Structure 1
Amino acid sequence: MGKGDKKTRRGKIVNKSFGVRRPRSKKQTKSYRTKTG
């Protein structure tokens, strides 16, 4: 579980992919990544 895990939200952000844990939203901004830490 972590950056390498494609099933987690963090892993999807690192992998630049989307899915159930990280849905594509219209409101997404640049600050989206910094909030997750």
Structure 2
Amino acid sequence: MGNYIDPQTGASTPITNGIVHYGKNGVHIVPARPSE
């Protein structure tokens, strides 16, 4: 899906989960912060 970049450290972590957003323009998957 992509990478999550921590705004405090700048470290990049592969994304394994996302949040589904439903809207009038369709469905979008937004990367979520990795669980710790």
Name the TM-score class by shorter chain.
under 0.3
Q: Which has the larger radius of gyration?
A: 2
Q: Comparing both structures, which one devotes a greater share of its residues to strand?
A: 2
- TM norm structure 2: 0.20
Higher relative contact order by CA 8 Å / sep ≥ 6: 1 or 2? 2
